């Protein structure tokens, strides 16, 4: 097998891969390659034909394909090579990437830096251990979205949606507009994990009931789905006997969470955070393996593509700096999740930071009139009040580089939510 060499190899041509490639090219990296397993770049945005993308980045409401096209166009302008229909089989700790395609067969590419931008996948039914039959008509919401939006087929006519993640909410509206009857959206938690605007625009506007603190407890149908049983759950998420409701339906869509797709990362020896299921990274998005970077939904699941892009631009710049061997002091300030906070990214910050540092995390519950507080030792570095924190909306705060002055990494940085007076 021939060994090729590139300075930066990017795995995935979704919004994360495209943004990081653009940033690296703009920083002057000539030798760059993006590998994409689908037949076109754009990632999951290709099937997200609804609008609402780009409000932060472009101050416009774009559809998913329109948003992606802007980055694809920019990448073309910059003559960034994107090889589609190419699947990466493995990444080694010393950054040798093995990939395969019909056109070029099996190849090995040695990379100066690798940017992991593989995105995430949906949690399937098995992750919930939902009992019942294993009939046809049970889809993850994204699979159904692909059938409808990319292939032009209807997966069903009478639909129950389990989980109130954003894709499930979007599909509730999409299926309704296409003539299906969406009977219910069922969420096991007492709050939705989706964006509030999607609850309003995709459920309420179409009179689709949202059952909070409920879950599907039985699935019936030998060949095609015939009905599901929905039960209320107690505060420990156990079904309460006697609360069962039966919905006759031919389709159950699951929108029960997304999991960063890190099998390649793990193969390369990258440390994975149990809180995010993504790589542990520094503020330059470098993983525990030198020269391997991660950004976008493979790092942690975002709500908004705008944030994926901004994070990935930063990762692309950082990878370019790595390739140019711009060494920095390696004193790290470790970041830890405090009360009310889960999965803060990055998990460590190089001192002194070269630029401003954005910290992103998910609230672990719903908090009203509370404050996000970032502190180190006894020193409070940042405080921001908000009307509401919910797990469905990622919090993101940028700290000026100079706010880290005087810190030596001997104590960790703590991110927490301070409950306000009710």
Partner 1 sequence: MVQQTDVLIIGGGVIGCAVARELSRYDVSITVLDRAWDVAEGASKANSGIVHAGYDAVPGTLKAKYNVEGAQMLPALCEELGVPYRQCGALVVGFSEEDRGTLETLLARGEANGVPALRIIGKEELLSLEPHLNPQACCALLVPTSGIVSPYELTFAFADDAALNGVRFRFGAEVKSVERLSDGSFEAKTEHDTWRCRILVNCAGASSADLHNQLSPEKKKIIHRRGQYYLLDRPVSAPFERTIFQCPSAMGKGVLVSPTVHGNVLLGPSAEDIDDPLDTETTQSGLDSVMDRVRLTWPDVSLRTNITNFSGVRAHEEGGDFIIGPVAGSPGAYEATGIESPGLSSAPAIGRALAEMISHEQELVRKERIRPYEKPPIPFREMTPAQQQEALEANPLYGSIICRCEVITEAEIVAAIHRPVPATHIDAVKRRTRAGMGRCQGGFCSPRVASILSRETGIPLTEVTKNGGNSYLLTGTLTENAERSDRT
Under the rule (CB under 8 A), what is the footprint of partner 1?
1, 37, 85, 87, 89, 100-106, 121-122, 124-127, 129, 131-136, 139-140, 142-143, 146-148, 151-157, 178-180, 217-220, 222-224, 239, 250, 261, 263, 266
Nearer to partner 1, 28 or 179 (CB): 179
Supply angle C-alpha 249, 51, 365, rounded to 5: 70
CB of 251 to partner 1, least distance (A): 8
Torsion sign across C-alpha atoms 18, 401, 403, 290:
positive
Partners of 106 in beta bridges: 100
Block residue for tokens 């889809």? 139
DSSP state of 379: E
Nearer to partner 1, 170 or 321 (CB): 170
CB of 66 to partner 1, least distance (A): 20
CB of 360 to partner 1, least distance (A): 24
CA atoms in the 13 A half-sphere facing the CB of 220:
9
CB of 100 to partner 1, least distance (A): 5
Backbone angles phi, psi at 136, to 5 degrees: -75, 160
Nearer to partner 1, 69 or 157 (CB): 157
Would you state the torsion angle of the CA atoms of residues 91, 305, 326, 359, taken in this order, to the nearest 10 degrees? -110
Partners of 216 in beta bridges: 230
Task: Assess contact for 201 and 182: CB atoms under 8 A.
Answer: no
Q: Closest by alpha carbon to 382, among 404, 406, 408, 367?
A: 404
CB of 259 to partner 1, least distance (A): 8
Nearer to partner 1, 129 or 421 (CB): 129
CB of 319 to partner 1, least distance (A): 24
CA atoms in the 13 A half-sphere facing the CB of 65:
7
Nearer to partner 1, 218 or 411 (CB): 218
CB of 252 to partner 1, least distance (A): 13
Nearer to partner 1, 74 or 121 (CB): 121
| CA 1/CA 145 separation, integer angstroms | 39
> Radius of gyration of the chain from Cα atoms?
22
CB of 145 to partner 1, least distance (A): 10
Nearer to partner 1, 154 or 381 (CB): 154
Tell me the two tokens of residue 312: 């990935």
Nearer to partner 1, 74 or 146 (CB): 146
What lies within 8 Å, CB to CB, of 393 at 6+ separation is: 195, 196, 303, 363
């Amino acid at each position: 097998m021939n060994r090729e060499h590139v300075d930066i190899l990017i795995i995935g041509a979704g919004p994360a891969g495209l943004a990081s490639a653009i940033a690296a090219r703009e920083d002057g990296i000539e030798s760059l390659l993006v590998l994409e397993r689908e037949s076109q770049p754009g990632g999951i945005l290709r099937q997200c034909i609804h609008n609402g993308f780009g409000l932060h980045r472009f101050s416009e409401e774009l559809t998913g394909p329109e948003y992606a096209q802007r980055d694809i166009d920019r990448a073309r302008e910059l003559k960034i090579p994107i090889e589609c229909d190419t699947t990466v089989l493995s990444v080694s700790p010393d950054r040798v990437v093995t990939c395969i395609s019909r056109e070029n067969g099996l190849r090995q590419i040695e990379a100066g830096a690798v940017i992991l931008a593989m995105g995430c996948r949906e949690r399937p039914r098995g992750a919930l251990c939902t009992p019942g039959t294993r009939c046809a008509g049970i889809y993850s919401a994204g699979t159904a979205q692909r059938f409808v939006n990319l292939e032009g087929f209807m997966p069903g006519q009478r639909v129950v949606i389990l989980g109130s993640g954003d894709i499930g909410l979007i599909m509730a509206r999409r299926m309704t507009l296409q003539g299906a009857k969406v009977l219910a959206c069922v969420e096991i938690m007492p709050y939705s994990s989706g964006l509030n605007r999607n609850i309003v625009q995709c459920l309420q506007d179409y009179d689709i009931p949202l059952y909070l603190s409920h879950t599907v407890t039985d699935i019936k149908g030998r060949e095609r789905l015939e009905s599901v049983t929905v039960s209320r759950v107690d505060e420990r998420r156990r079904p309460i006997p006697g609360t069962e409701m039966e919905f006759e339906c031919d389709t159950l869509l699951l929108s029960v969470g997304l999991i960063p797709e890190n099998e390649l990362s793990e193969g390369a020896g990258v440390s994975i955070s149990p809180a995010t299921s993504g790589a542990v990274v520094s503020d330059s998005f470098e993983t525990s393996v030198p020269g391997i970077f991660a950004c976008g939904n493979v790092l942690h699941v975002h709500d908004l593509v705008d944030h994926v892009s901004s994070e990935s631009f930063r990762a692309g710049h950082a990878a370019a700096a790595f390739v140019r061997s711009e060494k920095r002091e390696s004193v790290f300030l470790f970041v830890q999740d405090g009360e009310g906070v889960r999965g803060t990214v990055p998990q460590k910050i190089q001192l002194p930071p070269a630029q401003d540092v954005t910290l992103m995390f998910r609230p672990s519950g719903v908090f009203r009139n509370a404050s996000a507080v970032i502190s180190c030792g006894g020193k409070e570095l940042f405080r921001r009040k908000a009307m509401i924190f919910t797990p469905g909306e990622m919090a993101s705060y940028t700290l000026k580089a100079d706010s880290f002055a005087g810190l030596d990494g001997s104590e960790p940085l703590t991110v927490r939510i301070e409950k306000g007076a009710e």
